[in-house]
Amino acid sequence: MPTINETITQEIRAKAKELLESKEVAAFLGFCQGSLPMTTRPFVARSPEEADKLVWNSFCVLNPANYLPELLKSLEPPRGPRDPAPEGPLPKAALLATGCWSRNIAIQIKENQLDRDRVVIVGIASRGMVDQRKIRARFPDQEILKVEEQDHKLKVSGQNFEEEINRWDMVRGNCLTCLHPDPVMLDVRIGAAGQERKNDTPFQQVDEIKNKSTDERWQWFQDEFASCIRCYACRNACPLCYCDTCFVDDSKPQWVGKSIDPVDTGLFHILRAYHCAGRCTDCGACESVCPMDINMRILTKKLSMDVLALYGSEAGMDPEAPLPLSTYKTDDPQDFILSESGAAKEGI
C-alpha cells in the first residue's frame, strides 16, 4: 500500500511528463532527492525523462516560488537589454504549490515579478513539512542515516538504532500554526483538497515574547540572534527577497555593517523582517535553511500579526487585493503618533 506521499510523487511525475511532452511547459519546477538524509533539492525537469527524478515528501522545506522568476527569465530567448521583446507567447513553466507557496506566487504576480499566463500552478494541499532540527534534537548524539516515511509515522534509523516516531510531533512550527494548507490559486490539482484549519491562537509564539518587559525582550532579541553568522541564507531562500541590490550590499550609505557585531546582526534581522511586512506567508524557508538554528521567523510572524490586526489583510490570500503597504485608508490607526501634537488628538 503506497503512502500518501508516494501516491502524490507518482501523480506529480505523471503530470510533469504530460505537461512536458505536450510542450505546454518548457520546465517543471519541483523537488528531487537530496544527497543527505532528510533533505530535498529544488529541481527543474526540462524533459519528460527528467520528470522521473521528481519527489514529494515531508522534507520539501524550500519555497519553489523563490526560483520561479529566475527560471522564467532563463526560458526566454537570449536578448540584450534594449532589444524588443520576442513576438508570440513566451515559454511557460509549471511549479508545485502548497498554500503558502501559492500565496507567494500571488504576491509575485501583484509585484510584477511574474506573468500569470506563463505559470502553470500544480497545487498540492500541504500536510505540513517536517523540521529536521526537531528530529536531530530527538536523537542528540546519534547520526541519522535514513528516515523512512509513512503516513503518520517516521522511521528514523542510524548505525545502531531504529525508532518510529510520530510525524506530527516533528512538523515545523510554521506548519503547526498554518491555517491555509490548500493553495489559493491553482491550475492543476494533485492529491486531495485540503481543509482550512482552525486555530484560536495562531500567534501564540509572538504573544509569549510580547508579554515580556521591554528589557526582557531586548535580552531575548540579543540571545536569539547572537549566533548569526550573516550568511544570508534566510534572505536567499526567501521568495520575497528579489531586489537587485539588497540593503545589506549598499555601501553608500552603508545601512548595515558587514561584521557579526551584534548591532549589525540586529539591524540586519530587523530590516530583513520589516521588508517582508505584509508579504510574508510564513512558509518557513528562512528558518529551515538557517545553519545556526535561529528562529528569525518570529519577527515576520509578529509583522503578519500586526498587519492582520491593524490593516485586516493576510499576505497573498486575495490575489486581487492590493498589498497592505501599497495602499492606505484615511482612518488607519495612528495611536503611535504623539498625541501632544494638537490636531492628532482629533485623529485618535
Q: Give contact residues for another protein (rule: CB under 8 A).
A: 206, 209-210, 214-221, 247, 253, 255, 257, 261, 263-264, 266-267, 270-271, 273-274, 277-278, 299, 302-303, 306-307, 310-311, 324-326, 328-330, 332-334, 336-338, 340-344, 347
Query: Based on CB atoms, which residue is closest to another protein, 1 or 338?
Result: 338
Query: Based on CB atoms, which residue is closest to another protein, 49 or 318?
Result: 318
Name residues whose C-beta falls within 8 Å of residue 340's C-beta, 6 or more positions apart in sequence. Answer: none
Query: Based on CB atoms, which residue is closest to another protein, 25 or 303?
Result: 303
Decide: 68 and 50 in contact? Cβ < 8 Å. no
- Cβ-in-10-Å burial (0-12, 13-18, 19+) of 207 comes to exposed
Tell me the C-alpha distance between 275 and 136, whole Å.
31
Query: Based on CB atoms, which residue is closest to another protein, 13 or 279?
Result: 279
Name residues whose C-beta falls within 8 Å of residue 198's C-beta, 6 or more positions apart in sequence. Answer: 179
Query: Based on CB atoms, which residue is closest to another protein, 188 or 267?
Result: 267
Query: Based on CB atoms, which residue is closest to another protein, 32 or 209?
Result: 209
Tell me the C-alpha distance between 226 and 238, whole Å.
21
Query: Based on CB atoms, which residue is closest to another protein, 152 or 345?
Result: 345
User: Rounded to the nearest whole angstrom, what is the least distance from the CB of residue 302 to another protein in the complex?
Assistant: 5
Query: Read out DSSP for 208-241?
Result: HHHTS-HHHHHHHHHHHHTT-----HHHHT-TT-
| DSSP summary character for residue 177 | T
Helix (H) or strand (E) holding 123: strand 119-124
User: Rounded to the nearest whole angstrom, what is the least distance from the CB of residue 222 to another protein in the complex?
Assistant: 8
User: Rounded to the nearest whole angstrom, what is the least distance from the CB of residue 40 to another protein in the complex?
Assistant: 32
Name residues whose C-beta falls within 8 Å of residue 339's C-beta, 6 or more positions apart in sequence. Answer: 345, 348
- Closest-CA residue to 304 (of 336, 277, 337): 277
Helix (H, G, I), strand (E, B) or coil at 78: coil
User: Rounded to the nearest whole angstrom, what is the least distance from the CB of residue 273 to another protein in the complex?
Assistant: 7
User: Rounded to the nearest whole angstrom, what is the least distance from the CB of residue 238 to another protein in the complex?
Assistant: 17
Helix (H) or strand (E) holding 124: strand 119-124
Query: Based on CB atoms, which residue is closest to another protein, 123 or 266?
Result: 266
User: Rounded to the nearest whole angstrom, what is the least distance from the CB of residue 212 to another protein in the complex?
Assistant: 9
Query: Based on CB atoms, which residue is closest to another protein, 161 or 274?
Result: 274
| Sign of the torsion angle spanned by Cα atoms 273, 276, 281, 287 | negative
Tell me the C-alpha distance between 308 and 284, whole Å.
19
If you search the block for the grid coordinates 504530460, which residue do you land on?
18
User: Rounded to the nearest whole angstrom, what is the least distance from the CB of residue 324 to another protein in the complex?
Assistant: 7
Helix (H, G, I), strand (E, B) or coil at 153: strand
User: Rounded to the nearest whole angstrom, what is the least distance from the CB of residue 110 to another protein in the complex?
Assistant: 16
Helix (H) or strand (E) holding 94: strand 93-97
User: Rounded to the nearest whole angstrom, what is the least distance from the CB of residue 294 to another protein in the complex?
Assistant: 14
Tell me the C-alpha distance between 53 and 65, whole Å.
19
